[in-house]
Amino acid sequence: MDQPLPPDRCTSMAEVRAGVDATDRALAALLATRFGYMRAAARIKPDRGAVRDEARKAQVIQAMRDHARALGWPEAVAADLWERLVEASIAYELAEFDAR
């Protein structure tokens, strides 16, 4: 499969859509890896109460706000996305913990 054009080289909506689709596939693969780490955390943590860590959650979200700002995309969007991602990750990790 050909690599999509960088955003600043796109001249048609077909090129933009190809880039978005390729980026979405890459994001899905990265999220699968992230959830693999959640499975590992569920396996490693000694008890269910250790799954939710509000200090770590805040640290992760702030780091992504900072990273988004450095990369030039809206940090509020990053914070909202990572809030949802972290909560979904916690729910997944709890389910994995309970299943073991």
Whole-number Å distance between alpha carbons of 92 and 87: 9
pLDDT digits 0-9 by tens, 58-84:
999 999 999 999 999 999 999 999 999
The domain locations on the chain are 11-99
Backbone angles phi, psi at 11, to 5 degrees: -125, 0
The better pLDDT of the pair 65, 100 is held by 65
The number of C-alpha atoms within 13 Å of 48 and in the hemisphere containing its C-beta is 9
- Please say if the pLDDT value at position 10 is more than 60: yes
pTM for the structure as a whole: 0.90
Contacts of 47 (CB under 8 A, 6+ apart): none
Could you tell me the two tokens for 7? 């955003």
Whole-number Å distance between alpha carbons of 71 and 77: 13
CATH classification of 11-99, choosing from 3.90.1530.10, 2.40.50.140, 1.20.1440.20, 1.20.59.10? 1.20.59.10
Residue 1 pLDDT: 53
